[in-house]
Structure 1
Amino acid sequence: MLSSLNGFALAQSATWSAHDARLLTAAVAGIAVIVLLISWAKLHPFLSLALGATTLGVVAGMPFGDLVDTFTEGLGSTVGDVGLLVALGAMLGKLLTDSGGAERVVETVLGRTTRKTLPWAMVFIASLLGLPMFFEVGVVLLVPVVVMVAARSEQPVLRVGIPALAGLSILHGLVPPHPGPLAAVDALHVDLGLTLALGIVVAIPTAIIAGPLFGSYISQRVDLPPATHLLGQTPDQEEHEHRPSFLAAVAMLLLPVVLMLCKSVADLTLTEGSLGYTILDTIGTPVVAMMLTVLIAIVVLGTGARFSRNKISDVVGSSLPAIAGIILIVGAGGGFKETLVESGVNEMITDLATGANLSPLILGWLIAVGIRVATGSATVATISAAGMVAPMVTELPPAQGALVALAIGSGSLILSHVNDAGFWLVKEYFGMSVGQTLKTWTAMETLLSLVSFAAILVLSVFV
């Protein structure tokens, strides 16, 4: 009898082991398909993620009808939660740019700096402008300004440019309302306001080390000629007859951050159900905060710049085509994440990580690093890693869950190289060779990832 029971237990163990092996194979196959299609076949990330999810589901043994329903459900849910915020952020960024508010911020800060403090000012400018803008938009806006400032101050372009790129990039990786952090917050079901606050805490020292300090170091070792071909693209100070004031532009940049933090303040200090709690909780909801900011910006920036109603409509509408692809990629990432959940891969990964005593912080960072290096996409790395570690976060305290989202974002920044569109964008704008771009941009991105992850690990001890 005892031998029969032992035999049954061994058979059960073998069955589960075979099932786990199949799920692990499915996860590896799905990610491998995404990596190969993006990096080798040069297929659009949206299609790559969809085919990767299909591969994962088929290998895991999901019925095809269930697989389609699962992917579309995840896509729709993610676009509903994240896509609207991405669209509203694009509208705010376009209003700031076209009204001249972004130029006003740049000019005001630069007018109050010295040669020594200029790199620090560039971090500040990039951080402010980077809050509502996507990385690529920020680069297009800032690099001509960087070149102009470097030429006028007779400083190496990298001493001014690296701090600006560091400020933009760290926000792209860690701070909502950028698509990657928003997708991580959505997938992990962690508090957005808390993630935003902790993200800023991590971003400040990281941007300082990888920005002004690294910029001063590398500018002495990589000598670049002035990028004079960009000087003609610098913002024309007379392009806007009427422009918002510096305070108005900064207020619009910071308003969504302040509103989103209201929700966390309400959770920490007020009684749930009270009038004050209800008000702060409502205006701190991300969609409400961004919608209010855009509506206020239309009045403050659009009307302040003497835009007609038709002009305001055109500016807001023209912000949307550029981010359609981003919303599709984020949505497909949500579909991939939902496929991971419904196939059982998430639960299997949780069990493996528990058995190996890997914390969600470390596991999330490592997965994001691997996918980032392979695909070149920070957003794909963030979405995929968040989907895999989501079950491990459910029982964590709110602050620890937020730190896991930040750790994933940190891993998604590392080692940008030739498969990353940002690599080529920076290379061409600064007129660098591939080798010079690796020594500067790639090294800066890696430094951002390592320093931010170290800061996250330190914070995890205290929160």
Structure 2
Amino acid sequence: MDVGYSMSMLGLAIGIVVVMCIYFKIHAFWSLMTACLFLALTQGMSLPKIVSSFETGLGGTLGFLAPILALGAILGKLMEISGGAERLARTLINFLGQSKAHWAMLIVGYICGIPVFFQVGIILLIALMFSVIREAKMPVIQVALPMIIGLLTVHCIVPPHPAAMAIAGSLNADVGKVIFYGLIVGVPAAALAGPIYGKFIAKKFDVQISGAYADAKPRQDSELPPFGRTLFVILLPLLLMINKTIFELMIDKANPPDYMVYVNFIGTPMIALFISSAVGYVLLGLNRGFSWDQLGKASESAMAPMASILLVIGAAGSFNKIIIDSGTGAALEVVMKQIEVSPLIMAWLIALIMRFALGSATVAMMAAAGFILPVLGMHPDLDPALVAIAIGAGAIGGSHVTDSGFWFVKESVGIPMGAMYATYTVATCIASVVGLLGTLVLAMFV
């Protein structure tokens, strides 16, 4: 095995993805498939084996992820049409007071980010955000940044978000642990990068209320669901999945009690989300006056955006499988032995570099998982859930012009280009570094 040659081909394969996505604007699925073929052929894989590895990698990833992603999309859509996100925000702001509105928006972004995508979360909350800014007379950046960083942090490190769930599956990590660790690590990361840094940097940039949603009006209070009902629906899938992990830690694994078969079943991500979406249909749908026909159409509209995300994650899973089956994974293991760097730091760094280069947090996380997976066997005592958190923390940082989310934040909030790097980009880097430090500290105790 020529390690230098294998690493060179892997580097070129990644370069192909970067160039095709950024320079030629080719869809990430096609770019990743091209990289798969390039790496497989240059590593001497047989043609039947190439096809088999690609199909196995894609099917193995999506077989686990597709139903979770679909059910999560339904849950997020129910949050959208019911006004649940606005209810959470108003209740927390009333409880904390307008002087703490930036902290309230962090909590809202952190909680609402659990069932919805990053951009969707911004759309759900932005009308209320501008209303809070006007009423509290706070700078735009001081209120907006905490909400955005809260959404982004959860998006990258807490399942059932697609990339976080996908790498948990790829690394064979316990999903309940990934959720628990992610919530612990994410809180200080989002707090420092959001309300604390936001208050500091807002003094240096006088951003006015503008942007694509500046004229949007929040709903009337009577149109929103109750706070407790909304919070219960959002947290239910996490509670079911974490509950499974807690029971597994408490029982005698050599002689598990009979009821564990039910606990394991209910705590499986797919079943937990199915139960939660069913509860959501009732509490946020039927009980709010929506008909089954309306709920059916809303669910259908939630599915359409999932196609592109599924294809990208599936192709990234194939790329990871090609890395292992082509022998490149063995070469990576040799290199990692020589470098002698903590796999947590290496996983974080790879995700950060890929995020900066490609822009997509999803692709960055899947690529980092593919890099680090072959060397986990060298560290049998390392919990894969910690590796998943390190990867997610790396993918938070380095957002700039290659990231579609960067432009979405700029246009929706109305932040001038000159201020975006000093506000949003720096905040993502702060959250990323604090996330890594939190993961390293956590690794000392678990």
Q: TM-score normalised to the size of structure 1?
A: 0.92
Segments of 5+ residues of structure 2 without an aligned counterpart are none
The SS at the match of 1:462 is coil
SS at match of 2:237: helix
Match of 1:99 among 82, 94, 97: 82
| Alignment check: 8 A CA contact 2:211 2:413 kept | no
SS class of match (2:213): helix
Structure 1 partner of 2:227:
246
- The equivalent position to 2:312 in structure 1, one of 321, 329, 353, is 329
> Distance between the aligned counterparts of 1:140 and 1:21, measured in 2?
47
List per-residue Cα deviations over 1:90-120 (Å, max 9, x = no partner).
1000011112222222222222232321111
Once the two structures are TM-superposed, the CA of residue 456 in structure 1 deviates from its matched residue by: 0.9
Structure 1 residues 140-149 or 341-350, which shifts more? 140-149
User: Residue 436 of structure 1: CA displacement?
Assistant: 0.7
Q: How many angstroms apart in 2 are the aligned matches of 1:243 and 1:233?
A: 16
Larger radius of gyration: 1
Q: Is structure 2 residue 186 aligned with structure 1 residue 206?
A: no
Report the CA distance between 1:457 and its aligned residue.
1.1
Match of 1:258 among 233, 239, 256: 239
Secondary structure class of the residue paired with 2:96: coil
Task: Evaluate the alpha carbon distance shift between residue 242 and residue 117 of structure 1 in structure 2; reply closer, same or farther with a 3 A threshold.
Answer: closer
What residue in structure 2 maps to residue 375 of structure 1? 358
Aligned residues: 444
Separation (CA, whole Å) in 1 of partners of 2:341 and 2:371: 13
Q: Distance in 2 between matches of 1:94 and 1:157?
A: 27
The answer to whether structure 1 residue 280 and structure 2 residue 256 are counterparts is no
| Residue in 2 that maps onto 1:117 | 100
Gaps of 5+ in 1: 1-15
The answer to whether the 8 Å contact 2:77/2:298 transfers is yes
The Cα shift of 1:242 comes to 5.6
Do 2:211 and 2:414's aligned partners in 1 also have CA atoms closer than 8 Å? no
Contact 2:212 2:411 in 1 (8 A): no
- Note the C-alpha offset of 1:437: 0.6
TM-aligned CA deviation for residue 398 of structure 1: 7.2
SS at match of 2:24: coil
Q: CA RMSD in A?
A: 1.6
For residues 358-383 of structure 1, give each alpha carbon's deviation from its aligned partner in whole angstroms, at most 9, with x where no partner exists. 22112111211221111111111100
Matching of residues 3-402 of structure 1 within 5 Å: 16=1, 19-227=2-210, 230-237=213-220, 243-272=224-253, 273-394=256-377, 396=379, 400-402=383-385
| Deviation of 1:427 (Å) | 0.8
**Shift of the alpha carbon at 1:397?**
5.5
CA distance 1:244–1:399, shift in 2 (3 Å): farther
Q: Are positions 1:411 and 2:394 aligned together?
A: yes
Query: What is the TM-score when the length of structure 2 is the normalising length?
Result: 0.96
Q: CA deviation at 1:206?
A: 0.9
- Secondary structure of the 1:275 match is coil
Task: State how far apart, in whole Å, the 1-side matches of 2:128 and 2:46 are.
Answer: 54
Shift of the alpha carbon at 1:190?
Answer: 1.0
Q: State the shift of 1:195 in Å.
A: 1.0
**C-alpha deviation, 1:187, in angstroms:** 1.1
Deviation, 1:439, is: 0.8
Structure 1 residue 83 displacement after superposition: 2.0
Sequence identity (%) = 34
Report how far residue 307 of structure 1 moved. Answer: 1.3
Counterpart-to-counterpart distance in 2, 1:199 and 1:83: 22
Alpha-carbon distance in structure 1 between the residues aligned to 2:356 and 2:211: 32
CA contact 2:323–2:370 (8 Å) conserved in 1: yes
1:394 Cα offset (Å) = 4.0
Q: Secondary structure at the match of 2:201?
A: helix
